[in-house]
Amino acid sequence: MKLTLKWFELALLPTLVLILWALAAMWGSVSPILLPAPSAVIDSACGLIASGELWHHIVSSAKRTLSGFALAAVFGILLAFLFSQSARAKNLGYILIEAMRVTPPLALIPLLILWLGIEEAPKIAIVFLSSFFPIYLNALTAIESIEHKLKEVAKILQFSRWEMFRLLTVPAALPGILTGLRVGFGYSWRALVGAELIAASTGLGFMISEAGEFSKTSVVFVGILTIVVIGVLADLLLSFLIKRFAKYFAM
């Protein structure tokens, strides 16, 4: 009963939005160029799926996102652990890290294209820069926020460095690291689409941009909804995988 109620609550607002959308399209109160009917969006989606075009763009975007996000996760978490253990290293890198953090990644697209070319490298770099800082900052904050009393107990129990890491640091910091990864993935997915709107020949961002130029609003909606669905599913999958990973350190 509780599970049914939960799914009802989750689906209620999207269903109401869909109904209002369908009614607005049916009454003709909004031009189809601005707001196509749900049926037109479904027809466009079916056509793109049947031709394989939608899958092609999804795969291109997914590869770029996963590559940049994986690099950001590895380097962000490792750097957070390093800086949490060494105040000198943190001070040395502070100005550079902050300067990069406050620079909008999309503003670097012209430079990245000049430095890295027009292939995949600049797009992956945009994803990396967009997702690195939420991951790094959340991980660093989580590690530095571990209660001092817990560290004292670990010293009394004479934990080795590995035991301290596995039994104290990781379990205590994991909620913050998980939050950083989830936020970082959201940033990476959005930044990639922005990069594809400017410099790409494949990907969901490119598909949306091209459809917009030819006033194919239904295709634009297909691209947006695809981004939403993939983003939500990826977030759920990421949460599941990290929770399974957390159980290993809890053993």
Concatenating the DSSP letter of every residue in the chain gives: -HHHHHHHHHHHHHHHHHHHHHHHHHHT-S-TTTS--HHHHHHHHHHHHHHTHHHHHHHHHHHHHHHHHHHHHHHHHHHHHHHHH-HHHHHHHHHHHHHHHTS-GGGGHHHHHHHH-SSSHHHHHHHHHHHHHHHHHHHHHHHHTS-HHHHHHHHHTT--HHHIIIIIIHHHHHHHHHHHHHHHHHHHHHHHHHHHHHS-SSSHHHHHHHHHHTT-HHHHHHHHHHHHHHHHHHHHHHHHHHHHHHHHHH-
At 55 the pLDDT is 94
Task: Report yes or no on 17 lying in a domain.
Answer: no
Residue 18 lies in a domain: no
pLDDT score of 134: 93
Q: State residue 43's pLDDT score.
A: 92
Q: First CA to last CA across the chain, in angstroms? A: 32
**Burial class for 172, CB neighbours closer than 10 Å (0-12, 13-18, 19+):** middle
Domain that residue 160 falls in:
37-250
Pairwise pLDDT comparison (28 vs 205), residue with the higher score: 205
Whether 250 has a pLDDT exceeding 60, the answer reads: no
Give me the pLDDT at residue 132, please: 94
**pLDDT-derived band at 85, boundaries 50, 70, 90:** confident
Question: Residue 15 pLDDT more than 90?
Answer: no
Establish if 67 belongs to a structural domain. Answer: yes
Q: What is the pLDDT of residue 88?
A: 86
Specify the number of domains making up the chain: 1
Alpha carbon distance 110, 199 (integer Å) = 9
pLDDT band at 153 (very low <50, low <70, confident <90, very high): low
Q: Are 38 and 25 in contact (CB under 8 A)?
A: yes
For residue 8, the model assigns a pLDDT of: 65
23 domain-assigned: no
- Report if residue 126 sits inside a domain: yes
Q: Read off the CATH number of the domain in which 196 is found.
A: 1.10.3720.10
Segment 56-70 shows an average pLDDT of 91
Per-residue pLDDT at 249 exceeds 60: no
Q: How many CA atoms are closer than 13 Å to the CA of 158, on its beta-carbon side?
A: 0
